[in-house]
Chains A and B, each alone.
Chain A
Amino acid sequence: MTSIPAGTWVEIEKVVLNPEERAPSVPDDTKLTPYKMWVSGFLAEEGEIGEEVRIKSIIGRELSGKLVRVNPSYSHSFGKVVPELLKIGTEWER
């Protein structure tokens, strides 16, 4: 395992509530799963993926959890072409 240097932008994961601790109103399928959270921040001291670490969030708040991602980024897109949309409002359909 490579060690991730302190100060790196990372994401941590934390189990907030185990399945048996979940709210009484939760539907059955959801009740089978733990309630989890993720937050990004700067790694407070060097650590490894999967290790319990501390971070400082972008507003400077200290949080701890399992290190799961290094340099978390976004890759959402416009998706694949949806042929059903193509002709709407064009002369093909006027």
Chain B
Amino acid sequence: MSSSDNSYAAVMARKNEIMKMSTGLDYDTYAHSPIAFDYERMMNDTGYTMEDIVRIQHETKVGNTPLYELHNLTKAVRKISEPGKGARILLKDEAANASGSFKARRAAVSVFEAANKGYKGVIAATSGNYGAAVASQAVQRGLKCIVIQEVYDSHGVGQPEIVEKGRKCEAYGAEVIKLTVGPELFYIHLLTLEETGFFNSSLYTPFAVKGVESLGWEIANEVKARYGKVPEAVIITHAGGGNLTGTARGLLAAGCEDTRVVACSVDLSGLHMASDHDFNRKSFTTGHTGFGIPFATWPDRADVPRNAARSLRYMDEYHLVTQGEVFYITELLTKLEGIERGPAGNTSLTAAVALARQMDEDEIVVVQETEYTGAGKHHNSQLSFARENGIEVRRGDPKDNIPGKTIVIPEHLDQVWGKLQDIEHLRKSYLKNAARQHPLSDWDEEDVRFLAEDLKTEQGWIRQQMQEMNGE
């Protein structure tokens, strides 16, 4: 299967061919232009109904996770809120899935598809929980698994959280290729797909994103059954966009048209994601703006030609929180609610506190995931590691957080506010990125229609922006 020229440029040039072979999908059939494509047809062509997804996931210990009401945290929020304010905070305990995170939902459908199509193995390129999820699903379906992971800086130092995630992949019998910092991870990914003929269990295929739909579906139905209404808001930790896209699609499928879909990321602005120096100066390895912003403003930068995860298509609001705020809330969850969960999953919980304060007492805000915790993957490990790497850790006003320099852990719950990210600004960046892929002068009616849908806006707004961009 492997070709003779394995130089970086030669392998990247074979990208489309390798993708077709390793996903069984011909993305060209959905394309209209470098911008527009038939998104819904691509999603529907997977052939999986919600019932199929639930059944597939049930077979491999995924889904039907508990939805807890956080009584003590809600009470604490009401204490610092105006009278009548302080929504009920619910938490979907996704750590209960096989492998300990919601990523098992994506992996379950993706690995099922690979087994169904007769692939002998699966490959996932990720430094996150997704690797462990694919490994755990692969072992249950009798497939081999390779996980390709960015682990170390050039001195061979890895953050405890990433090291732990690598360990977990190996625990499930996966071969783990551990790499230094750099976007060339994609090169190794392509090369390994080509050499092995395995399935590309990308986070961004329609199968993987469909897998998350059951999460939104479960939340909607459970809230309806218990509280007699749909939740007013669902908060979703946002990185690559699949968590938000899949959850929102599941909510819509269950009739939650009026539920606010709120994204949340840890603010790591100022740190370069491919920088060897910055790599170990961040205390979050996912759910942060380093993925959240670029993937929102150009989803097709993913490891597949057309990304099924398209966050701005579904997003109503976007909150940013600081590292210090998330660590504070993670500790508070443990001490008030008696459950220990990993910090990355608590990103959206942090925004929920800020949001619940502004919502009425009879309203419901759902935090839609948790993740497992343990040695390495724990806020104490992360903070201890940060301090050893010269990051200042102190209590104070979280507004003083500086990514890569200072982590300020709030002194009181009423300092947990996060901040709003301007979505219109993100939509404009998306359009600029689109114009880089396909010249503005070539955009046709179909492109405008697609852009309006992909950005959850009106065609008139797109046309107005096109005029402004033309004037620049």
Residue in B8, B276, B381 whose CB lies within 8 Å of A21: B8
Which B128-156 residues have a C-beta within 8 angstroms of A? 144-146, 151-152, 154
Residue in A30, A58, A85 whose CB lies within 8 Å of B173: A58
Complex interface: chain A residues within 8 A of B70 (CB): none
Which B335-358 residues have a C-beta within 8 angstroms of A? 335-336
- Tell me if A33 and B176 are in contact (CB < 8 A): no
Given contacts A23-B8, A61-B175, A89-B336, are A84 and B394 in contact (CB under 8 A)? yes
- Tell me if A57 and B7 are in contact (CB < 8 A): no
Complex interface: chain A residues within 8 A of B375 (CB): 76-78
- Tell me if A78 and B381 are in contact (CB < 8 A): yes
Which B368-397 residues have a C-beta within 8 angstroms of A? 375-376, 378-385, 387, 393-395
- Tell me if A59 and B174 are in contact (CB < 8 A): yes
Given contacts A25-B274, A37-B188, A38-B178, are A76 and B167 in contact (CB under 8 A)? yes
Complex interface: chain B residues within 8 A of A26 (CB): 182-184, 274
B272 within 8 A of A: yes
Complex interface: chain B residues within 8 A of A32 (CB): 276
* Nearest CB in chain B: distance from A65 CB, A: 11
Complex interface: chain A residues within 8 A of B380 (CB): 78-79, 81-82, 85
Q: A11 CA to B380 CA in the complex, in Å?
A: 29
- Tell me if A89 and B332 are in contact (CB < 8 A): yes
| A76, closest chain B residue (CB) | B376
- Tell me if B8 and A17 are in contact (CB < 8 A): yes
- Tell me if A78 and B378 are in contact (CB < 8 A): yes
- Tell me if A23 and B384 are in contact (CB < 8 A): no
* Nearest CB in chain A: distance from B192 CB, A: 9
Residue in A29, A57, A76, A88 whose CB lies within 8 Å of B175: A57
* Nearest CB in chain B: distance from A55 CB, A: 10
- Tell me if A76 and B163 are in contact (CB < 8 A): yes
Which A18-57 residues have a C-beta within 8 angstroms of B? 21-23, 25-27, 29-30, 32-41, 57
Residue in B163, B174, B384 whose CB lies within 8 Å of A74: B163
B121 within 8 A of A: yes
Complex interface: chain B residues within 8 A of A17 (CB): 8, 184, 187
B327 within 8 A of A: yes
B177 within 8 A of A: yes
A16 within 8 A of B: yes
* Nearest CB in chain A: distance from B464 CB, A: 32
Q: A84 CA to B335 CA in the complex, in Å?
A: 14
* Nearest CB in chain A: distance from B98 CB, A: 19
* Consensus secondary structure, chain A interface: loop
Given contacts A77-B375, A82-B384, are A23 and B183 in contact (CB under 8 A)? yes
B196 within 8 A of A: yes
Given contacts A16-B188, A36-B179, A59-B146, are A85 and B274 in contact (CB under 8 A)? no
Which A67-94 residues have a C-beta within 8 angstroms of B? 74, 76-82, 84-85, 88-90, 93
Given contacts A23-B187, A37-B178, A89-B335, are A76 and B381 in contact (CB under 8 A)? yes
B180 within 8 A of A: yes
Chain A residues bordering chain B, tally (CB within 8 A): 39
- Tell me if B334 and A89 are in contact (CB < 8 A): yes
| B332, closest chain A residue (CB) | A89
Complex interface: chain A residues within 8 A of B173 (CB): 58-59
Complex interface: chain A residues within 8 A of B164 (CB): 74, 76
Residue in A16, A23, A39, A82 whose CB lies within 8 Å of B176: A39
- Tell me if B179 and A37 are in contact (CB < 8 A): yes
Residue in A59, A74, A79 whose CB lies within 8 Å of B385: A79
Q: A88 CA to B76 CA in the complex, in Å?
A: 13
| A59, closest chain B residue (CB) | B144
Q: A89 CA to B59 CA in the complex, in Å?
A: 39
Complex interface: chain B residues within 8 A of A88 (CB): 328, 331-332, 335, 409
Complex interface: chain A residues within 8 A of B384 (CB): 78-82
Complex interface: chain A residues within 8 A of B378 (CB): 78-79
B160 within 8 A of A: yes
| A38, closest chain B residue (CB) | B178
- Tell me if B376 and A77 are in contact (CB < 8 A): yes
Q: A81 CA to B276 CA in the complex, in Å?
A: 27
Most chain B C-beta atoms within 10 Å of own C-beta, residue among A26, A59, A76, A82: A76
* Nearest CB in chain A: distance from B127 CB, A: 13
- Tell me if B409 and A30 are in contact (CB < 8 A): no
- Tell me if B8 and A40 are in contact (CB < 8 A): no
B170 within 8 A of A: yes
B181 within 8 A of A: yes
Q: A25 CA to B181 CA in the complex, in Å?
A: 13
Complex interface: chain B residues within 8 A of A60 (CB): 144
B275 within 8 A of A: yes
Complex interface: chain A residues within 8 A of B181 (CB): 30
- Tell me if A59 and B175 are in contact (CB < 8 A): yes
B55 within 8 A of A: no
B117 within 8 A of A: no
Q: Can you list 7 A-B contacts with CB-CB less than 8 angstroms, sorted by A residue number? A: A33-B276, A36-B152, A59-B146, A74-B164, A84-B383, A85-B380, A89-B331
CB-based closest 4 A-B pairs: A79-B384, A89-B335, A76-B376, A33-B154
Residues of A at under 8 Å CB distance from B? 16-17, 21-23, 25-27, 29-30, 32-41, 57-61, 74, 76-82, 84-85, 88-90, 93
